[in-house]
Amino acid sequence: MSLQIVRIPVLSDNYVWLVHESVSGETMVVDPAVADPVLIEAKAQGWTITQIWNTHWHGDHTGGNAGIKAATGCTITGPAAEAERIPAIDRLVAGGDCVKLGEIEAAVMDVPAHTAGHIAYHFASEKAAFVGDTLFAMGCGRLFEGTAEQMYANMRKLETLDDETLIYCAHEYTQSNGRFALTVEPNNMALTSRMAQVDAMRLRGEATVPTTIADEKATNPFMRAASVAEFAERRAAKDRG
Ligand code: FE
Ligand code: ZN
């Protein structure tokens, strides 16, 4: 892997991802909720931030845009459909576009539902995807600006990625997602053993992401829903819980 990826925990449960490409020397930030902890981590690594990539407009994903741009002069890329709500955005992209960190390419995927213009960034050559608030470990984003049909379609899109693809999501929601997943599939052995592992990791204060497509196919009740109706029922039950 020619990318180095550093996880920066901020706010109560957000993860900001710092991604360094060593050939070009470029460093990119995915969804900076805040500026200072990101600037401090980049400095500690000896890296200079050249780009920010946003997945959607929510403040806990874009709150650091202006501060990081002011400090570094970086270029900000984000979803065209949400451009007017993304601070300091420079470059508007949508599904099918290609973005680059150095010479390494990422495909932009449209994954609307959590927000209407939500996108994800997939580095096929690196087997890594940055999915914001669309897919979580054993969970998926809430349907704030979209429908169950759309999120179900997103699950179908994401499950086509290579099984080993690392999924970099934006929150540490794994344990509560897993507790819900167990109510849906109490006899899923992959799920019960994953949850035992997750509980132990959280007890030690460890992060449980990135996850992988293979793990999500085996344990995620939203990815595993067999129809839009089943997906919608599970999403509604999780929202009530
Ligand atoms: Fe969000
Ligand atoms: Zn979020």
Average pLDDT value for residue range 16-21: 98
pLDDT above 70 (res 55)? yes
Residue 133 known to be catalytic: yes
Neighbours of ion ligand 2 (CB under 5 A): 60, 133
Collapsing DSSP to helix, strand or coil, 115 comes out as coil
Q: What is the pLDDT of residue 222?
A: 98
Q: What is the pLDDT of residue 1?
A: 57
| The overall pTM is greater than 0.95 | yes
pLDDT above 60 (res 201)? yes
Average pLDDT value for residue range 187-200: 98
Ligand showing the shortest atom-to-Cα distance for residue 169 = 2
Within-domain flag for 89: yes
Residue 187 C-alpha to ligand 2 middle, in angstroms? 30
Residue 228 C-alpha to ligand 1 middle, in angstroms? 22
Residue 122 known to be catalytic: no
Within-domain flag for 158: yes
Q: Residue 77's closest CA among 109, 104, 99, 44?
A: 99
Average pLDDT value for residue range 220-240: 98
Residue 20 known to be catalytic: no
Within-domain flag for 228: no
Half-sphere exposure of 39 (CA within 13 A, CB side): 14
Q: For residue 150, give every residue at least 6 positions away whose Cβ sits within 8 Å of its Cβ, in sequence order, or none.
A: 112, 113, 143
pLDDT band of residue 146 (cuts 50, 70, 90) is: very high
Domain count, the chain: 1
Residue 90 known to be catalytic: no
pLDDT above 80 (res 156)? yes
Residue 215 known to be catalytic: no
- Two tokens at 194? 């994953």
Within-domain flag for 225: no
CATH number at residue 105: 3.60.15.10
